[in-house]
Amino acid sequence: MKSEKLANRILLSDLKAGSQARISAIEGDEAVRHRIEEMGLREGEFIRMLRSEAPQIIAIHGRRLCIRMNAYLQIWVEPDHSQAFFGESACPK
Q: What is the distance between the alpha carbons of residues 60 and 51, in angstroms, rounded to a whole number? A: 13
Q: What is the distance between the alpha carbons of residues 7 and 60, in angstroms, rounded to a whole number? A: 24
Return the residue of 6, 10, 27, 88 that touches another protein, per CB under 8 A. 88
Cα–Cα nearest to 33, from 86, 71, 82? 71
Binding to another protein (CB under 8 A): which residues in 2-21? Answer: 20
Work out whether 30 is an interface residue with another protein (CB under 8 A).
Answer: yes
Cα–Cα nearest to 15, from 82, 75, 89? 75
Return the residue of 13, 59, 78, 80 that touches another protein, per CB under 8 A. 59
In the complex, the residues that contact another protein under the rule CB under 8 A are 20, 28, 30-42, 48, 50-51, 53-55, 57, 59, 61-73, 84-93
